[in-house]
Amino acid sequence: MRISCDLFCRVVDNLGDAAVCWRLARQLALEFGWRMRLWIDDPSPIDALAPDHASLPVDIRHWPDDFPDAEPARVVIEAFACELPPRYIERMAALPRAPVWINLEYLSAERWVPGCHGLPSPHPTLPLTKHFFFPGFAAGTGGLIRERDADFGPQGIGAALSISMFCYENPALPALLSAWAGGDEPVICRIADGLPRIQVASWLGEPFEPGAITRRGALQLAALPFVPQPDYDRLLGACDLNFVRGEDSFVRAQWARQPFVWQAYPQADGAHWPKIEAFLDLYGRALPGDRRAATADFHRAWNGQGDIAAAWPAFRAALPALADHTMPWAEEIASHGNLAENLVRFCAGRL
């Protein structure tokens, strides 16, 4: 019998919530034959991320304020602690056999993650238990999303340093663009649609609409339209260096086997800094000391602590070492199994 699964997603901001949930729903349906319903309060990002979604076996449902009286599935995934509709929880509790209830957490490389992955949290009043499921880079975590059909395309070879740029509002961006423009090396930077493109337009002091190409000194800038997820994956594979952010593009950059720079989702209380440091520590372990330091310095500056232009030359010099590191690193993080297969195994023992 096919396993039914309801995956609940609230779009807090940006694209990551929808992006992660869509990928997981798609993979569980296509690779494991699960009967997937994706309940999402704002389905519109899925149209942009996956314009082909109607042809895929995921039932995308709008999650309205007044939730319908739906029969709960055998597996219920609550993404990023989005809180299930009370009416749905009551129906889960009324079933003769409680569904497997998973809280899919945010990704972090912090040391405490393996200790918390899989922990149960019994409901205070109802006969239901929720389990925490943590994505992660280390053994004992839920691993990372990676589909069997993930395709990062051929790696590009060109005379200029080819870069893709996907970031939040980033005060370090203008200084980095100026450093590239004033440098000796030709750089081609492909700017993602949205916040990155808006900031580049302001640095240029002129309109910079999708499709525009312009030059400042050694720097050529190309404004990209928003592309579907598979095209974004191939962009990551084709560039020599990718600036990524949040959660999903951060993971894809690691599978794409090209050097990358990560801007963490900025949190008001600085809660993102332990995540940045934990990742740098884990990722940098196999790098030679000076390359590790250059990578850490550049990441810190990109996330708001340090001088990005001053950090660039050493980071640029570290790129060949980082390129050599991409393959063993991807193999290491893949060795813990991918998130969907780990989730299927976790649920199988509890169904």
Catalytic residue numbers read 17, 247
From 28-36, 63-71, 183-191, 239-247, span contacting ligand TRH (CB under 6 A): 239-247
The reply to whether 178 sits near ligand TRH by the rule CB under 6 A is no
The reply to whether 292 sits near ligand TRH by the rule CB under 6 A is no
What is residue 42's three-state secondary structure?
coil
Q: Least separation, in Å, of the C-beta of 343 and ligand TRH? A: 18
The reply to whether 81 sits near ligand TRH by the rule CB under 6 A is no
- Single residue of 76, 165, 177, 192 touching ligand TRH by CB under 6 A: 192
How many other CB atoms are there within 10 angstroms of residue 15's CB atom?
22
Q: Least separation, in Å, of the C-beta of 96 and ligand TRH? A: 37
Do residues 28 and 34 make contact, with C-beta atoms less than 8 angstroms apart? yes
Nearer to ligand TRH by C-beta: 118 or 228? 228
* First-residue to last-residue Cα distance in the chain: 12
Residues 6+ apart with CB under 8 A from 19: 45, 49, 229, 247, 248
- Single residue of 17, 105, 240, 297 touching ligand TRH by CB under 6 A: 17
Nearer to ligand TRH by C-beta: 226 or 286? 226
Specify the pairing of strand 58-62 against strand 35-40: parallel
From 9-17, 60-68, 125-133, 312-320, span contacting ligand TRH (CB under 6 A): 9-17
Q: Return the residue nearest ligand TRH (CB atom).
A: 16
The DSSP annotation for 218-276 comes to: TEEEEEPPP--HHHHHHHHHHSSEEEEETTHHHHHHHHTTS-EEEE----TTSTHHHHH
Assigned token pair, 332? 């290491």
How far, in Å, CA of 20 to CA of 8, rounded? Answer: 12
Beta bridge partners of 162: 188
The reply to whether 249 sits near ligand TRH by the rule CB under 6 A is yes
Q: Least separation, in Å, of the C-beta of 255 and ligand TRH? A: 12
What is residue 123's three-state secondary structure?
coil
Q: Least separation, in Å, of the C-beta of 3 and ligand TRH? A: 25
How far, in Å, CA of 299 to CA of 305, rounded? Answer: 9
What is residue 62's three-state secondary structure?
strand
How far, in Å, CA of 167 to CA of 256, rounded? Answer: 17
Nearer to ligand TRH by C-beta: 99 or 136? 136
The reply to whether 273 sits near ligand TRH by the rule CB under 6 A is no
Residues 91-120 contacting ligand TRH, CB under 6 A? 106
Catalog residues that contact ligand TRH under the rule CB under 6 A.
12-17, 19, 49, 106, 166, 192-193, 226-229, 232, 245-250, 265
